[in-house]
Amino acid sequence: MTGITAAGIGSGLDLEALIEVSINAERAGKDARFEKTKTTLEVTLSAVGSIKSTLSEFRKILEKAQNQDTFFPRTATTNESEGNESFSVDLATSATNGNYAIEVQELAKGSSLTSIDATANGGTPLYTSEDDVVATTDGQLTFSTASGESMVLDVAAGTTLKQLREQINDHEDNFGVSANLIDTGSEIRLSMTSDETGDGNTLLVTNTGANAELDNFTNAGGKMDVTDASSARITIDGIEATSSTNTFENVISGVSINVNKVTSSAVALDIQPSEEESVANVRAFIDAYNNVIKEIDKHTKATGVSEGDDNSNRKELSGDPMFRTLRYSLGGLSTNGYDDAAPGMRTLYGIGIEMDEDGLLTLDETEFKKAINSNLDGVGELFAMDGGVADSFLSTVKSYEQSGGVLATREDSVKSQKKDLERQMLDFEERMASYESTLRSKYTAFDVTMGSLNSQMQYVLGQLG
């Protein structure tokens, strides 16, 4: 039997126990309901956050899949050793598979103008010092190319060879002309080079002023050795192609070739789908999709409830309509047909991506490689075309994952419910404190009354003694 406490001194009753029983009766079920609601809200918040995170990762993969060139790329390889390549290759969307024999016969070169030496000048050097004056009166030189580049240089009286070099190099309209002085020990020669390449694009220097002394620096003046600009030349399967630069744009449809050295023999160029990158990218798509499904199941899927079981293994969010709808939508998109895709490639199944009994995607790598090798563009279009796999999945994913989307709205709602629950729990505790205070007041009055009656009874019994 519970010992008598302070609340039962007068009456001899265990009033503390009565108070405790009354409070527990009042609390009955409410604490459990509060705790269950709190747990459900916290689990929901956790689920929303984790599923939103996996959707964000899935979204990144889908956005990458919208560009078929990067998601299902082709690759160009040659039979040259790495680091010793004669040319590099850039592939556009329109590139197709193929094998070619490439020979680089000549690189594109810029032109140069160099002062003639003393021998060519009748035995007399044109200049013996960088401080030699090249113009005794004001004059003007114009530098131009057939491609339309132009620079006008005003040469003041008294300009030295060194100052002329500096004027050329520092001019604000300089289009790639570089001037240097060559000291042979017995004479100083001016060398001017232009990085404008291509046949017919030789640097042209003309005297456009009144000082004939400046004819020494012109093409027509007879005092400059001129090396003409030239184009790059290659052969592709024996067919010659030229380019004014070292880049051959679309010389093969969708293929640009950048040459950097002359070859001694034909180099084999092979353009094929990049199996390694394509497989890696589609596996990333599958993994990201499966992570979303697994995360949904983690919070909603009961683990093997059998007939007669008490449902103790049922998850807090089992049957949640929001998560159920998301899972159903993603599953539907995985098995959809995409009618505008290439024949035989209008479903994920058609390229080797299948769904197992748990709703997860798997890859038949052999079938997938067959698909990309037979029609890489068709596989790419299935994912990247308007209304294709990437677009369709992105539409659903964004509606849930983005700011203001379904998950964000649910998250805000749950947070609001948590605050309401916290207020309800606080109000309840205040009511229970008030209820306990009321009980104690009543039982205290009862205890005092009983104590007084007991005292009177003891007095009477004593008198009758």
116-135 pLDDT tens trace: 999 999 999 999 999 999 99
Q: What is the pLDDT of residue 1?
A: 38
User: Tens digit of pLDDT for each residue in 320-378?
Assistant: 888 899 999 999 999 999 999 999 999 999 999 999 999 999 999 999 999 999 999 89
Residues 37-57 have a mean pLDDT of 85
| Residue-wise pLDDT tens digits, 178-235 | 999 999 999 999 999 999 999 999 999 999 999 999 999 999 999 999 999 999 999 9
Output the six-digit token pair for 405. 């989307």
More confident residue, 151 or 431: 151
Tokens at residue 51, please?
């599923």
Task: Check residue 342 and report its DSSP letter.
Answer: P
Q: Is the pLDDT of residue 263 over 50?
A: yes
What is the residue type of 195?
Answer: D
* Matching residue, tokens 């013996």: 128
pLDDT digits (tens, 9 = 90+) for 369-421: 999 999 998 999 999 999 999 999 999 999 998 888 887 777 777 788 888 87
- The class level of CATH for 110-227 reads alpha beta
> Predicted confidence band at 267 (pLDDT cuts at 50, 70, 90)?
very high
Q: What region does 200 belong to: left with phi over 0, alpha with psi -120 to 50, or beta?
A: left
Instruction: Look up residue 306 and give its DSSP letter.
Output: P
Residue 78 has pLDDT above 90, yes or no: yes
Contact status, residue 273 vs residue 97, Cβ threshold 8 Å: yes
pLDDT tens by residue, 292-308: 999 999 888 766 555 55
Query: How much is the pLDDT for 3?
Result: 42
Tokens in use for 240?
A: 């010659």
Distance CA 70, CA 249 (A): 20
- pLDDT band with cut points at 50, 70 and 90 for residue 433: confident
The secondary structure of 185-244, three-state, reads CCCEEEEEEEEEECCCCCCEEEECCCCHHHHHHCCCCCCEEEECCECEEEEECCEEEEEC
Taking residues 75-89, report their average pLDDT: 93
Q: How far is CA 53 from CA 40, 49, 320, 384, 412, in A?
A: 20, 6, 19, 24, 16
The pLDDT assigned to 5 comes to: 46
Check residue 16 and give its pLDDT: 76
pLDDT at residue 338 in the model: 93
Q: Which of 212, 192, 210 is nearest to 202 (CA)?
A: 192
Q: State the sign of the Cα–Cα–Cα–Cα dihedral 274, 275, 277, 278.
A: positive
Residue type, 30: K
pLDDT level of residue 32 (50, 70, 90 thresholds): confident
- State the Rg of the chain over Cα: 45
Quote the strand ranges of 44-117, DSSP E.
74-78, 87-91, 98-106, 110-115
Residue 349 identity: Y
Least confident of 63-72, 76-85, 92-101, 408-417: 408-417
**pLDDT for residue 48:** 81
- Domain spans, the chain: 1-73+274-451, 74-107+232-273, 110-227
- At 418 the pLDDT is 81
Residue 21 CB-density burial (10 A; 0-12 exposed, 13-18 middle, 19+ buried): exposed
How is residue 25 written in tokens? Answer: 């009766």
C-alpha 453/C-alpha 264 separation (Å) is 126
What pLDDT was estimated at residue 444?
Answer: 75
Rounded CA-CA distance 409/275 in Å is 41
- The answer, yes or no, to whether residue 174 has pLDDT greater than 90, is yes
Judged on CB neighbours under 10 Å (0-12, 13-18, 19+), 185 is exposed
Q: How confident is the model at residue 4 (pLDDT cuts 50, 70, 90)?
A: very low
How crowded is residue 349: how many other Cβ atoms within 10 Å of its Cβ?
15
pLDDT confidence of residue 352: 96
Bridge partner residues of 271 (DSSP): 76, 98
For residues 26-46, give the mean pLDDT: 80
Q: What percent of the chain has pLDDT over 70?
A: 92
Torsion of CA 109, 113, 115, 121, to 10 degrees: 100
